[in-house]
Amino acid sequence: MRCINKRISIIIASILLCVSFSGCGETSYGVPFDKDSTKSAFRFESQDVRECADPFAANLCIPGPESTSENEIEFGPDSYAAAMLFDLKGKKTLYCKSPYERLYPASMTKVLTAIVAMENCDMDQVLVADESCVLTENDVQKIKLKAGDTMTLDQALHILLIYSANDVANLIAVNVAGSIEAFADMMNEEAKTLGATNSHFVNPSGLQDEDHYTTAYDMYLLFNKAISYGKFIEIISMSEYSTVYHRASGEDIPFECETTNRYLKGQYSPPQAANIIGGKTGSTIAAGTCLVLLSKDASDNSYISVVMKADGVDVLYTKTNSLLELLQ
């Protein structure tokens, strides 16, 4: 009797299961069956994933365990705050120290400034300086813009990324967003979109502010986006630049500058395996010296390195070289 009852229970359960997957029950897929459709119930059942969206980090390097000190520099591990090396082709993090520590980016900020500008403004758009572009401090990098001065975005991006002029950063901001504050909002929104969620920006230049910070890993995320623009790579690979911009009166103002990147200036030499493409420096008392850099190996594979809060230029480039020695 028990066996009969058990068989009856199994039969009833089977009927109920069939009903639940048929058109007779209340539960339905809501997608018509079509064995040739990639969006039908048949495809859901067969777990076909050909049209599934890629995960956010599918094409990104993810930080692993902290690297050991065997690749350390003579100045010691306390001579800088954070350092990372990313293999873009292999999507690997080859070196990792303090990836998520919040640090001041100084002028590396201008990488994000360039991204927001390139996404929202044409290269030939004429930018006009207002009073917020006039910087009077003696200890900041600037070209001494005056209210009414004009130049194109293309000119401004060259001066921003090669010479790291802070007044030109303001020039870009006020012309793209209407004000420095509104541009900072755009920067933070862009950073969030790129996954740089441990960052916050209050100005387009990187001039010191306690509420203006990023991390080594976020800096990689921002720089990785920036190098998707051919114009960005073109500019950061230049060792010098000359142009002519204009006063409000129409007067021509010639301008020439050299890069702040000491690799491109020939003041430091990378390891033999590394070909330096270009990058962005940063330096303030609070931020120390910083560098985010694009390099290639002998097989033309690309790498991004980041060093933040180094105790001086020698430490910065020595540590960067120790990272580039990991290139094969």
Active site residues per annotation: 107, 110, 164
For every residue of 291-320, DSSP letters joined together read EEEEEE-TT--EEEEEEEEESSHHHHHHHH
Per-residue tokens: 154: 């293309």
Question: Tokens 């064995």 identify what position?
Answer: 35
Residue 203 to residue 187: CA distance in whole angstroms: 9
Nearest-CA neighbor of 95 among 301, 322, 328?
A: 322
**Helix, strand or coil for residue 144?**
coil
Question: Tokens 């990272």 identify what position?
Answer: 323
Residue 247 to residue 250: CA distance in whole angstroms: 5
Give the chain's end-to-end CA distance (angstroms, integer).
75
Q: What is the DSSP letter of 275?
A: E
By the 8 A CB rule, do 263 and 321 touch?
no
By the 8 A CB rule, do 279 and 293 touch?
yes
